[in-house]
Structure 1
Amino acid sequence: MSATTAGRFSWTVVTPLVAAVVLLFTWGTHPGVVGNVLVAITLFGAVLAGVHHAEVVAHRVGEPFGSLVLAVAVTVIEVALIVTLMVSGGDDTATLARDTVFSAVMITVNGIVGIALLLGALRHTYAVFHPEGTGSALATVISLAGLTLVVPTFTTGASGPVFTGSQLVFAAVASLALYAAFVATQTGRHRDFFLPVDTATTADREAEEHAAPPTDRQTWASVALLLVALVSVVGLAKVESYAIEDGVSSLGLPHAVVGVIIAMTVLLPETLAAVRAALRDRVQISLNLAYGSAMASIGLTIPAIAIASIWLDGPLALGLEPVQLVLLGLSAVVGVLTVVPGRAVPLNGAVHLVLFAAFVFLTVSP
């Protein structure tokens, strides 16, 4: 078999297509034990393939565009899933958007950031990044989370932790404006603040310089396969959610645990890509992915549900509960203290991971 033929039938090409076929035959069904095992295996295969194709695209377009492609692609599909579930109705739709967005924020700013800093610092003594770019990203995340998840808890225009119609429109416009401003900063004149700090050895730099970028044809093929992989990941996560719900119910756990598990699954591509970047001493890319995903999750979800609210019945609770407010506040303070020096030691990563563990534990045992 020739190299070209082998490339066409490599696992990174076949796996997303197989995942799409499995999704086609399982969507809207409740698979049995064997079916759920098949879905789980296919799902994780699609995650790995998605990370590979994201890295191919990133190699072609360069940073920080590569991180932006993966973060936005995953979030757009995730938002589509959230809106579809909300429009279809159900007992938990009132808090679905809030719980999903909050879970995404905690997973990214504590889970992904924590594991990237911990692994990067353990392997390279320090995890080094640009405080200017990372600080502006964190400031945007905190502002978005505050405007959309904290403020509704204290507004008085409507009963409960909800926005009035005009307040929701303002939050949606503000979210889009903040996200657009950040993307313009990240990809414009201050792009250097989001590029990896050059700590590579001469051998590493030479290896990267001699690595030929993919051709246009390979890049577009990877873009298509990345989209197929991400659609499959989100769709198969939804299919698997029935088994997850049954398991959570049988264990007597809160229904919010289902959302956390699904959010973790959907964010697996970013997590794996961030870990691989951290191990290569490219922690800035890991932080770009984490904070970029958090921003995209809020900046795209809130405008989407503002539009979807036209067809939604009942209230849309966005305001966080007291325990969630405390966790978000702690995450913001710790994040600022981590970012300001421009480098982190393993302890910084451990602190973020403890906050993430607290989020998971308090979701399971509120």
Structure 2
Amino acid sequence: MTARPRSALLHWTGVLPVAAVVLLVLVWGRALSAALVAVVSLFLAGAVLAAVHHAEVIAHRVGEPFGSLVLAVAVTTIEVALIVTLMADGGDKSAALARDTVFAAVMITCNGIVGLCLLVGALKRKVAVFNAEGTGAALATVATVAGLSLALPTFTTSAPGPRFSGPQLVFAALASLVLYGLFVTTQTVRHRDYFLPVTTAGEVIADEDHADPPSARVALGSLGLLALALVAVVGLAKAVSPTIEAGVAAAGLPSSVVGVVIALLVLLPETIAAVRAARRDRVQTSLNLGLGSAMASIGLTIPAVALASIWLKGPLVLGLGPSHLVLLVLTVVVGTLTVVPGRATPLQGGVHLALLAGYLVLAVSP
């Protein structure tokens, strides 16, 4: 007799997000001892793995590119809430928090996730193949919004320092929202086929054929558990952030390193999901996750902090410094050269990872 399958809610991927949220409630606002930090870190890692599992269940149900969009928007929405919360608590010292977090997300996604997935895909199949039209459109949107929101404030003169004036900030927020809306419409409605995965032979994969998609009930359950897991990931990351800040200060590192560490933690679910897709010869899905997350990070964060700046005290610094401007330009140029052929070797993956390494080195030693 065949054993009955266990309920998804009784599987570790169902239990752990709930347990992680309960732990988050218990530790919220408390100073954590070393033992509690270790426990929180374990639950944080478990919540990341659970989030990846439920994101893949949803992606299998709704298909690409909707699956990638669900994870990117879910992570970014909660990340925005975290940024606004930290800015409200931090005062003047958090003036550059939004800039540092968004730029960290752009570098991690456009160079870290993209580079790692190209490397994995190319090593497995000799050449990583993707759709140049869809990937190019995503990169162009990311480059435009990043330039308008992060590069332009460095050169404006209406407000002192690398900041926007009120009307300029409104323009940047509206431009980010409109371009993100156009990107989502293009990805999911008008030109959905540009974002579907392709095989090494260049054949479009419209649907996965190795297994039946989960039922609507299972997909809805995974959607709820994904939301819980992501709340736990971001909330527990915030809970351990004072420990991270203390460690960074004790090591004599710049305060911007805290934003980098938190961005790395928050983007772990997308990174793992993207690498797993690349290993299955679904490099386009990986790029959808990477560039889609970058687009969501800018397109949702900038309008949110612009709105929050109405009641938040202190300045809002968005402009990048000279070294970060160079890295942004290099990322756009290298990304363009990578995307145009629609095929990539391990070399392109290594180049993107080198740019990420350069960013991390400059974050530690400006």
TM beyond 0.5: yes
Q: Answer yes or no: is 1:251 the counterpart of 2:251.
A: yes
Amino acid at match of 1:7: A
SS in 1 for 2:176: helix
Amino acid at match of 1:226: L
Which position in structure 1 is the counterpart of 2:344? 344
Which position in structure 2 is the counterpart of 1:312? 312
Q: Answer yes or no: is 1:173 the counterpart of 2:174.
A: yes
Q: CA deviation at 1:2?
A: 5.9
SS in 1 for 2:334: helix
Deviates more, 1:354-363 or 1:85-94: 85-94
Whole-Å Cα distance in 1 between the matches of residues 4 and 12 of structure 2? 14
Task: Normalising by structure 1, report the TM-score.
Answer: 0.96
Q: CA deviation at 1:63?
A: 0.3
* Aligned partners of 2:92 and 2:313 also within 8 Å: no
Whole-Å Cα distance in 1 between the matches of residues 127 and 99 of structure 2? 35
Whole-Å Cα distance in 1 between the matches of residues 219 and 168 of structure 2? 42
SS in 2 for 1:152: helix
Task: Normalising by structure 2, report the TM-score.
Answer: 0.96
Going from structure 1 to structure 2, the CA distance change for 1:127 and 1:309 (only over 3 Å counts) comes to same
Amino acid at match of 1:230: L
* Aligned partners of 2:241 and 2:258 also within 8 Å: yes
Which position in structure 2 is the counterpart of 1:198? 199
SS in 2 for 1:89: helix
Which position in structure 1 is the counterpart of 2:51? 50
Runs of 4+ in 1 over 4 A off after TM superposition: none
**1:30-49 equivalence runs, <5 A:** 30-49=31-50
Whole-Å Cα distance in 1 between the matches of residues 208 and 192 of structure 2? 20
Whole-Å Cα distance in 2 between the matches of residues 15 and 314 of structure 1? 39
**1:327-338 equivalence runs, <5 A:** 327-338=327-338
Number of aligned pairs? 363
Going from structure 1 to structure 2, the CA distance change for 1:316 and 1:12 (only over 3 Å counts) comes to same
SS in 1 for 2:95: helix
Q: Answer yes or no: is 1:271 the counterpart of 2:271.
A: yes
CA deviation string 1:196-217 (max 9, x = no partner): 0134899xx9x94251111111
* Aligned partners of 1:59 and 1:213 also within 8 Å: yes
Which position in structure 1 is the counterpart of 2:123? 122
Which position in structure 2 is the counterpart of 1:322? 322
* Aligned partners of 1:106 and 1:359 also within 8 Å: yes
CA deviation string 1:120-167 (max 9, x = no partner): 100110110000000000000000000000000011111111111011
Q: CA deviation at 1:308?
A: 0.4
Whole-Å Cα distance in 1 between the matches of residues 315 and 208 of structure 2? 52
Q: CA deviation at 1:303?
A: 0.6
Coordinate RMSD, CA, aligned: 1.7
**1:25-174 equivalence runs, <5 A:** 25-174=26-175
CA deviation string 1:224-282 (max 9, x = no partner): 00000000000000111111112111211111111100000000000000000000010
- What stretches of structure 2 of length at least 5 have no aligned partner? none
SS in 1 for 2:190: coil
Amino acid at match of 2:363: T
Q: CA deviation at 1:3?
A: 3.1
CA deviation string 1:175-195 (max 9, x = no partner): 000000011100113111100
Which position in structure 1 is the counterpart of 2:22? 21
Whole-Å Cα distance in 1 between the matches of residues 140 and 85 of structure 2? 30
Whole-Å Cα distance in 1 between the matches of residues 90 and 113 of structure 2? 31
Amino acid at match of 2:37: N
Whole-Å Cα distance in 2 between the matches of residues 208 and 226 of structure 1? 21
Whole-Å Cα distance in 1 between the matches of residues 210 and 280 of structure 2? 17
Whole-Å Cα distance in 2 between the matches of residues 120 and 253 of structure 1? 35
Whole-Å Cα distance in 2 between the matches of residues 82 and 52 of structure 1? 25
Q: CA deviation at 1:91?
A: 4.0
* Aligned partners of 2:129 and 2:202 also within 8 Å: no
* Aligned partners of 1:101 and 1:297 also within 8 Å: yes
* Aligned partners of 1:194 and 1:285 also within 8 Å: yes
SS in 2 for 1:163: coil
Amino acid at match of 1:346: P
CA deviation string 1:281-340 (max 9, x = no partner): 100011000100000000001110111011122211100001110110111110000000
CA deviation string 1:74-111 (max 9, x = no partner): 00000011111112233421101100100000000001
* Aligned partners of 1:200 and 1:281 also within 8 Å: no
Amino acid at match of 1:81: L
SS in 2 for 1:142: helix
Whole-Å Cα distance in 2 between the matches of residues 343 and 131 of structure 1? 8
SS in 1 for 2:243: helix
Identity %: 65
Whole-Å Cα distance in 2 between the matches of residues 294 and 41 of structure 1? 27
Whole-Å Cα distance in 1 between the matches of residues 249 and 133 of structure 2? 45
Whole-Å Cα distance in 1 between the matches of residues 145 and 31 of structure 2? 37
Amino acid at match of 1:286: S
